[in-house]
Amino acid sequence: MNRETICARIEEIGIVPAVRVFSAEEALFAVEAVSSGGIPVAEVTLTVPNAISVISELAGKHHDLIVGAGTVRDLETARRSIDAGAKFLSSPGLDLEIVEFALKRGIPVLPGALTPSEIMAAWRAGSDFVKVFPCSVLGGPSYIKALKSPFPDVKLIAAGGVNQKTVAEFVMAGAVAVGVGRDLVSPEAVRRRERHWIHELTRRFLGIVGEARAQAAP
């Protein structure tokens, strides 16, 4: 998949699960459970032990899976992630060197940004999406809605505070996608290897996003 295809697929699905667990084995299980449940996109955060190896294994085994690296904070980690097979890079903040590097490698990049100045800088640098993180601290859906007024063309991904109760509000406020962590990738479900539990959560989130988009459509 090329950069354009990956971006289109992320936007189509509208959900980017963030896998932040305690072992490589848990991460492999979580990503495969989310994917088989209907969301073939996952961000493996680099806080996971041996995260690069996890990304490499997933990329090698599941060619239709869009597995990315999350919490990317420096160029060396970005390079290792892409070399391992990461199909996108996500960071908690805005580092223009990482954005530039990802674009040179033809990899979608989702930098974190919070203020209007950071969002403007990220978009001007060529970012495919801008991850508003942690948007809950500034009002959640209302903040996304406020940002869409000056930035109608910027593809915002809402992250931080997204759960089953708020996800519809984020979508209707203008987020093209949402980043969801433990409310989708339940730590308890992962610990107990409850695949069906995660499948149910993916089904619920996909349904809520679909309904919210239908309501928001002109």
CA angle 175, 99, 109 (to 5 degrees): 40
Whether 155 sits among the annotated catalytic residues: the reply is: no
Distance, in Å, from the CA atom of 77 to the CA atom of 98, rounded to the nearest integer, reads 10
Distance, in Å, from the CA atom of 74 to the CA atom of 200, rounded to the nearest integer, reads 35
Whether 165 sits among the annotated catalytic residues: the reply is: no
Indicate which residue of 57, 87, 131, 155 is catalytic. 131
Indicate which residue of 43, 57, 87, 155 is catalytic. 43
Q: How far is CA 136 from CA 33, 39, 52, 55, in A?
A: 27, 23, 29, 28
Phi, psi at residue 70, to the nearest 5°? Answer: -110, 165
For residues 40 and 65, the answer to whether their CB atoms sit within 8 Å is: yes
- Residues assigned a catalytic role: 43, 131
